[in-house]
Amino acid sequence: MNLWAPLDQENIRNPFPMYATLRREAPVYKSQTGEWIISRYADVKTILKDPRFRSGNKLEWINRGITYFKSKDQDLSAIASAITSFLLLINPPEHTRIRKLITSVWNDREVDQTILENVDSLLNIKSEDNTFDIVEDFARPLPNMTICKIMGISMEHYQHLTTLSNNLVKILNLYNSFKDLVRIDSAARDFISFFRELLDIKKQRPDNDLISKLIVANASEREPLSDDALISVFIFLFIAGQETTIGLVSTSLLTLSKYPSQLNTLAGNPELMPNAIDELLRYDGPVHLLGRIASENIELGGHCIKQNDTVTLCLASANRDSRHFENADILDITRQPNRHLAFGSGIHFCLGDWLAKRQGALAIQRFLEVYPTYSIVDHTLQWNDNLSIRTLKHLSCRV
Amino acid sequence: MTRPQSPHDIVTFMKKVVAAEARIPDTSIDEDKSFHQFGLDSISSIYLLEKVENEYNVTISPLYFWDYPTLRLLASQIFDENFRQP
Ligand code: HEM
């Protein structure tokens, strides 16, 4: 029997039993698709830190796909051009250069004001019957509103960009159908033209936002990035924190509702929030799977991973590994130390971790203040069909 | 859109697609050989599944290509899931 069934409906609802079986029976597992599934903490961390495991199998794959589908008269080239400079898909030295460019200008961490304004405007909208969809009414719009402000994008575009972002982020799924690829391509096309226009405007009149700062800093580089590459950087900065933050906020509120005494403790002691956020990220962080590709033959756990083999790293499984965490399957908002892998590790460690944590903390804290007695009314929870970034479709609660 | 009477109908249809992809006559395709042996990979699988989806108006999980790695296994799964009378 295949131990790897990430699209199975049972596993979409709850993948943790599958992860537990993999960790126990086949921690380095060659799946039916030919990729290796890595599920234990130590192995996942080792691979994330090992430069012989490179990023970017997705980019290579999509480039081959574009050539192939061209022969079927289908043009998917916008996908490649949109993702060509996605930090998480590229390798040094290009990766180092772009990562430096971003960190050199993204130093303004005074985002609390913006986040709180956005949170409060969303929490003020309450339906007549006192129900509230935590995903649609709160978690989904929030990161988008915040990143628009940070990047200097006018709010009138945010609805449109939310839809594009939802579609484009699917490129990070492990497996896509042809219809998915067509939708992704169309989102890529629209994103590119949107940011191309914005690039021209901000070039003329730079402001104090992240996009303007990137344009200015890039222009003074010895070898500046092309406009196409810059646009791809913008797109990634825009989408990287969407689906992920949606997951953090909504899944965390679901998890907390299952641990009422810890929820109470947290509501009464907001100073516990930063620690609680880390624990919620460990317990069920939104990014479950990451991909790498072996650049040479590599021994791991008694197996030989061959050059060009793909490895899939189960972060969410590593974070439940009892070899590393005591009572790994139990939430403990006071857990310390907590070296979870929800943001990855090594050179691709999440660049927006501080924003994600701050936004998550403020959102959950304000939510608990405004709706202290919320109760989940969704009894059959619907999850999106994708374990790479695992998020709920809806989360209805009574407030 | 057509409605297959049996898994065999789906096999026949897929044989045509695979034959065109592999540039071999469909009579030489053995339905118990793995897709790999015809040179199909994760990219051409997307094309094959799309063709089948459109032909029968069904939705197929992209992983089925690997979970049911021969024409016979895949056709049976698609038939059972969508067309088998209870
Ligand atoms: C709860 C929310 C988030 C989670 C769980 C998360 C998780 C991750 C993970 C696991 C990676 C590593 C990918 C890899 O190694 O292949 C990553 C990379 C990245 N994340 Fe996040 N992320 C979150 C929010 C954000 C936000 C808000 C931003 C801000 C825009 C952001 C920007 C990035 C960037 C730019 C990278 C690529 C870094 C690199 O490759 O050098 N993330 N994230």
Domain boundaries, chain B: 7-82
A347 belongs to a structural domain? yes
pLDDT of residue B86: 76
Instruction: Pick from A350, A353, A387, A390 the residue to mutate for probing ligand 1's pocket: most ligand atoms within 8 Å of its CB.
Output: A350
Residue A369 lies in a domain: yes
**Cβ <8 Å between B43 and A32:** no
Cα A172 to middle of ligand 1, angstroms: 12
Residues A108, A109, A113, CA angle at the centre, nearest 5°?
Answer: 110
A181:B46 CB<8 A: yes
What is the value of ipTM here, to two decimals? 0.91
Number of domains making up chain A:
1
Class of domain B7-82: mainly alpha
* Structural domain harbouring A284: 9-398
| Tokens (6 digits) for A365 | 């804290």
Q: What angle do CA B58, A390, A90 make, to 5 degrees?
A: 100
Nearest to A235 by CA among A196, A207, A208: A196
Q: Which of A7, A61, A68 sits opposite B63 (nearest CB)?
A: A7
pTM of the model: 0.94
Q: Which atom in ligand 1 lies closest to the alpha carbon of residue A344? A: 10
Give A127's pLDDT tier (boundaries 50, 70, 90): low
| A33: contact with B, CB 8 A cutoff | yes
What's phi and psi for A30, nearest 5 deg? -85, 110
Report if residue A3 sits inside a domain: no
| Mean pLDDT computed over A226-243 | 97
- Please, which residues have CB within 8 angstroms of residue A348's CB and are 6 or more apart in sequence? A48, A55, A87, A88, A95
pLDDT tens digits along A36-47: 999 999 999 999
How many angstroms separate the CA atoms of A322 and A316, rounded?
12
- Tens digit of each residue's pLDDT (9 = 90 or more) over B20-78: 988 889 888 999 999 988 889 989 999 999 999 999 999 999 999 999 999 999 999 99
Is the per-residue pLDDT at A310 higher than 90? yes
pLDDT at B1 over 90: no
Q: Say which amino acid occupies A283.
A: Y
For position A304, which CATH number holds? 1.10.630.10
β-bridge pairing A375-376 and A396-398? antiparallel
Residues in Cβ contact with A150 at an 8 Å cutoff, skipping those fewer than 6 apart: A111, A114, A209, A210
Beta-strand pair A396-398/A131-133: antiparallel
pLDDT at B9: 96
- Rounded to 10 degrees, what is the CA torsion of B70, B73, B76, B81? -110
- Give per-residue pLDDT as tens, A148-203: 999 999 999 988 999 999 999 999 988 899 999 999 999 999 999 999 999 999 99
Instruction: Please tell me the distance in Å from B51's CA to the nearest CA on chain A.
Output: 10
